[in-house]
Each structure stands twice: as structure tokens, then as C-alpha cells.
Amino acid sequence: MSISVFELFKIGVGPSSSHTVGPMVAARQFVHDLDKRGQLQAAERVQVHLYGSLALTGVGHGTDMAVLMGLLGEAPDTIDVDSIDDRLEAIARESQLALGGSHPVTFDRNRDLIFHGDQFLPQHANGMTCQAYRGGELLFERSYFSIGGGFVLSEEDFAHKEEIATLLPFDFSSARQLMELCDKHGWTIAELAMANEKAFRSEREVTDRLWHIWQVMDASIQRGCRRQGILPGGLNVRRRAAELYRELSGQSEEERRSGLAILDWVSLYALAVNEENAARGRIVTAPTNGAAGVIPAVIAYYVNFVHDPAVHGDLKDQVVKFLLTAGAIGMLYKKNASISAAEVGCQGEIGVACSMASAGLAAVQGGSNQQIENAAEIGMEHNLGLTCDPIGGLVQVPCIERNTMGSVKAINAARLALRGDGAHVVPLDSVIETMRQTGIDMQSKYKETALGGLAVNAVNC
């Protein structure tokens, strides 16, 4: 399955790529599929069944909201996030929604949005089945799977997912192949990634869109540094980024750059993004929402504390190099393991984001391809076995702080790799396979079900 960097970095809405972005995309796709069959106007009622992890942590992750917005025809990258609450209230009040924004059908949330927490569809832990009815007659039914990072496959697509691809001129399925292709053509990882992206769009468009991705990331940092209050969901988690920002902003330039003070800023950047994510704000899936703060925090670290135009050149070019490199590494995890916490635990989210960020940072600091691969390997090796156990099914505790840890680890991984010559004992392919096997062995209660770990123990403390 060929992947574009823009499938790993998608502008969306919080709090979860697999539980919010994916279900919104799937519900919208169902309406589109229904319309393609010529049955949209005949539908009088729709019903959505959520299974497995989507059911167990769906309310905390906004899956119910996402499904309804998707049925209305909304997309994660364009929805007006400030209008959501009013539209949900209107659906509840009128027991009706407009499919695709135009065709009204009856919809009783208690009857037509059904959570099957004790059932998993065989294809994936994040499954949902959408049904359209005319009277008591079932017109159309289709299952969809949110496989992580906002990626969605229908039941039919899932059976043939390896065939769904754009032919890339320099395709690779392993880190070894990636490195061999780079050696053959004398390219950096970013240059090879750009050559592949040009199969989809022009180099200018790739560059401009990646720069826009960073601008959206940076905007989420800036918003998170301004907003205060309690995050929604019932845990009464207080937003901390704004207070930390005020404290750090009072530092002198010497204090700001001394010792470990820089890491306080890195933590601030990650906190700001993931508090925005938890508050259902606009963020970039990178490669998931739960891990959306890691890559922006590491780029912000580079922009604010490392980049020197005289040494590193144009900032836009460097940010594009970072994202292309990180994207190439993320593709390896997507192809050969998973970026879904419901499949492999949080090692597939924070772990992958850390690995991607490590590689990107090593690249913009002049690392060789071997050093970049080493950085990516270190970034994952020390996240192996990381569980996903969100308290209350919310992307808040431990998720927000976990992004700060992933960001700091990524910086350290890049520094370690750049201090070496690129030689390392464990190849990146081996650590990816280890992550996959670890995810298979991990008990389901530690994979985004809120049935184990902190999700059950913290409430007893």
C-alpha cells in the first residue's frame, strides 16, 4: 500500500485520529456510498453500530460526535469546530439530521447510535457498521474500519488493501530498501520522499502544503499557550500550558537557553498542542491525534533554539526536509506494523511519533541517512511496550503529559545518533517488527479500551 506524507500529516479535529477523525470520515463516506447507489433520497432512517475500542472509549474520544458530524457531511479538516455543540443539540432536540447536509432523516441518538463494547469485528478493533432504512426495510449496510491516524477502509477495501495503491517511482517496504534506494541515487531520505510525492503533485505544491502543515501545527501551539480553563469530559483536568507560557516568557534570554530550561519550552509546546486536541480544537494528526504534540514540539524546538540561517539555510526548506524525513519513517510503521493504539498500544502512537521526530530532527541537523535511521530506531526502541490506558476513555491522562515525554525522548535520540557514526546493533526494521510482535502479545485491556492500567487503578488511589 503506497502512502503519501499527507496521509500521515492531516489537518483535523481532536481528540483522536482513530476515534474522532476516522469515524467522521467513515460516516461521511457512508453517505457518499449511499448516494452513489442512488438510495440517498429513499433513506428515512440511519443507524450506526460501534464495536470494540470505538465502543469502549468512544464517548470519551468524541466518536459519537464525530459520527453525527460525518453523517451531516462534515470533514475533519474543514468543520467549524465552534459550531459542533449547537448542531448536536439541534439533532437531539429535533430527533432528525440531514444526511450530507441536505436529506433529512429521523435519528434518535439513544436508538440509532449503538455501542457494542463486548463485541469486536474480526478485521480490526476499531469497527463500525452503518445502515440506512426505508420504513423497516434495510436499504444499504456497510462496515468501515478506522485503522489509525485517520485512515479508513471499508469492509471491501480491507480485504484488498494491498491493492489500493498509487504506483510510486521509488517505492519501499522496509528501512533496508529505503536506505538502498537512497544509496543508489545518491539522495537523502527527504529527497527520495520528495521524488515519490511528485507522483501525486508538483514539488512546489508539496513544499507549500508541508509548510502549511507546520503553520497549522504552530497555530495550535500558539492557541494552546493562550487558552485556560478545564478540559471537557469530567476529569476536571486543568489546562497548564498558558500558565507555563507566562512563567517561561518572564525568563531572560540567558535563562531561556541555560541548562535544562530549553526542555521546559519543549514540554510547553507539546502540552499546548495536546490540550488543544483534548479540547476538540484544530490540530494536525502526526501521525495520530493522541501523539499530535510530539512532532510540532520537536520542530518548534528546532525553529526556536537550533536553526541558524547561516548554517542551516532557509527555514521553510528545513521544515519541509524534517516532515519529509519523518513521513518516510512513519510510512514504514504504517506498512509493517501499526499506528493504531487499539492494535498495538501507545507504542504505535507516541512511540511512532517519537521515532519520526527523531529522524526529522537528525535530518535537519545534517545527519547522514545512517544516523537518521539510527535516530528513528532509538526513538522507538525505548518506547517498546508502551500501553494505551486512558483514564475515563479521554485523551487527557496520561496522554497529554506523555507527549512531553515523547518529545524529549526524540531530541535525545537524535542527539545520541548524531554523536555516533550511524553504525548501530539493532536495525530499524528489527525494532519495527519487535513493536508489531509486542502489540500482538499485549493484552487487549492495554490497547485503548480503558479496561486496564491507569484507567482502572488511578480511580482507586
Which tens digit of pLDDT belongs to each residue from 235-277? Answer: 999 999 999 999 999 999 888 888 889 999 999 999 999 999 9
- Give tens-digit pLDDT for 321-356: 999 999 999 999 999 999 999 999 999 999 999 999
Cβ-contact 433, 337 below 8 angstroms: yes
The mean pLDDT value for 292-299 works out to 98
Domain boundary among 125, 159, 193: 159
Flag whether 292 is in a domain.
yes
Is 206 found in the same domain as 125? no
- Give tens-digit pLDDT for 408-445: 999 999 999 999 999 999 999 999 999 999 999 999 99
Q: Which amino acid is at 440?
A: I
Domain that holds residue 55: 17-159
Q: How far is CA 234 from CA 15, 17, 215, 310, in A?
A: 15, 21, 31, 49
pLDDT at 327: 98
Q: How far is CA 208 from CA 231, 320, 321, 385, 425, in A?
A: 33, 9, 12, 37, 38
Flag whether 125 is in a domain.
yes
pLDDT at 160: 67
Q: DSSP for 220-262?
A: HHHHHTT--SBPTTSS-PBP-HHHHHHHHHTS-HHHHTSTTHH
Label residue 460 by pLDDT band (50, 70, 90): very low
Flag whether 103 is in a domain.
yes
Strands (E), 281-377: 282-285
Helices (H), 365-427: 369-381, 399-419
Is 196 found in the same domain as 79? no
The 8-class DSSP code of residue 458 comes to: G
CATH number for the domain that contains residue 440: 1.10.4100
Is 243 found in the same domain as 385? yes
Flag whether 323 is in a domain.
yes
Flag whether 110 is in a domain.
yes
Is 216 found in the same domain as 81? no
- Give tens-digit pLDDT for 378-397: 999 999 999 999 999 999 99
Is 190 found in the same domain as 146? no
- What is the C-alpha separation between 350 and 63, in angstroms, rounded? 21
Question: Residue 300: what are its φ and ψ, rounded to 5°?
Answer: -65, -35
- Give tens-digit pLDDT for 62-73: 999 999 999 999
pLDDT at 256: 87
Q: What global pTM score does this model have?
A: 0.91
Domain count, the chain: 2
Is 205 found in the same domain as 150? no
Is 438 found in the same domain as 315? yes
Flag whether 167 is in a domain.
no
pLDDT at 412: 98
Domain boundary among 107, 125, 159: 159
Does the pLDDT value for residue 167 go beyond 80? no
Flag whether 120 is in a domain.
yes
The mean pLDDT value for 20-32 works out to 96
Domain boundary among 159, 183, 207: 159
- Give tens-digit pLDDT for 173-210: 999 999 999 999 999 999 999 999 999 999 999 999 99
Flag whether 456 is in a domain.
no
Is 138 found in the same domain as 211? no
Is 145 found in the same domain as 181? no
Is 84 found in the same domain as 187? no
Is 398 found in the same domain as 256? yes
Label residue 461 by pLDDT band (50, 70, 90): very low
Between 164 and 76, name the one with better pLDDT. Answer: 76
Is 182 found in the same domain as 280? yes
CATH number for the domain that contains residue 117: 3.30.1330.90
Cβ-contact 449, 57 below 8 angstroms: yes
pLDDT at 166: 58
